[in-house]
Each structure stands twice: as C-alpha cells, then as structure tokens.
Amino acid sequence: MYARSAVRKKRENGIMEGKKDKDFIATLRDRGLQVTYQRLAIYQSLYFSKEHPSAEVIYQHVKKKFPMISLGTVYKTLEKFYDVGLIEKVSPVTEVARYDAQTGPHHHMVCLGCQAIMDAYGPVEEPGIPLSGQNGFHVLRKQVVLQGYCPACKTAFISKS
C-alpha cells in the first residue's frame, strides 16, 4: 500500500521530485528576478506541466489560487522569464506562444489537429541539419519540430479519409 502511493507520488512529481518552494525561489533569484507569490505560482504551473501550455492555460490554472491575477500579468511574467533564459518557447508553429520550463536540449512533436505538443528526444546533431557558421549565422539552439497527428487526431483525421 505504501509502496504504491510512493510510486504514484513519484510519477506525479516526475523529474522535479523533492523540489521545494525554496528551490523554486532560488531558481528565480538566480536569474535576477524578484520573487513574488504570483511569479512563483506561474513558474510552478509551467514547471509541473508536460503540455507546453499557452499563457491562457497557465492563467486559468494560476487564477484558482490568485483570483485577482490578469491574463496580461501572466503573459508579461512568462515573457520576462523567457527574456532571462529561465524558460523556453516552442518554435512558433502554433497560433499562440507555447512555453516550456524544460530548457535542456529536446525536440517537439506538434499535432496539426489539436495543437498538442509533446517532447521528443534524440541526438541534437541530426544528420542533414546545417552546422553552425553557415552565412555567418551564430546558432544558439537546435530544435527539430516534427509536425503530424497525435494518436487521437490520427484516428479522426487520417483513418476516416
């Protein structure tokens, strides 16, 4: 009984198992950000999400705890986080910006049907991807975006036709 709930807890927490509020506060401070409860809630909401949420989705989540918060504040806070390198944005293949607290190298699979974004892992040096230095371009990030259909949308969009 104990073991099972421990396993479930582990799964819910995922990679950030054991991460406490003070760790999040330290992370924000490391980036030179003033820590407020709202900022903390916005960062944690993104951090614990696997869905690469939009500002709107994070707003709906954070609003439950901070009813006075506005969508504009959430958006501005996320952009601030992005400016200081605390978070990433998924390449602009969706209509609205989608954010990602995971800043390590990984790729994305974007569903053309429901705009779900999933992580994909593999070597960053994929064959066929131009190396740094072409046209004097300084490469900061390499990210492959795979567009297609998630399992649910594949059934709806492809199988029927």
Partners of 146 in the β-ladder:
109
Of 59 and 99, the one with the shorter C-beta distance to Zn ion is 99
Q: Which stretch binds Zn ion (CB under 5 A): 6-14, 32-40, 119-127, 134-142?
A: 119-127
As measured in angstroms, the least distance from the Cβ of 91 to Zn ion is: 10
Select the residue interacting with Zn ion from 100, 101, 107, 110 (CB under 5 A). Answer: 100
As measured in angstroms, the least distance from the Cβ of 117 to Zn ion is: 7
> What token pair was written down for 152?
């649910």
Check binding of 119 to Zn ion (CB under 5 A): yes
Of 3 and 15, the one with the shorter C-beta distance to Zn ion is 15
Are the C-beta atoms of 106 and 88 separated by less than 8 Å?
no
Select the residue interacting with Zn ion from 113, 142, 144, 157 (CB under 5 A). Answer: 113
Check binding of 153 to Zn ion (CB under 5 A): yes
Closest C-alpha among 57, 56, 52, 87 to residue 72: 56
Closest C-alpha among 86, 95, 79 to residue 44: 86
Partners of 54 in the β-ladder:
98
Are the C-beta atoms of 55 and 71 separated by less than 8 Å?
yes
As measured in angstroms, the least distance from the Cβ of 157 to Zn ion is: 8
> What token pair was written down for 21?
């509020």
* Residues at the site binding Zn ion, with contacts judged by CB under 5 A: 100, 111, 113-114, 116, 119, 150, 153
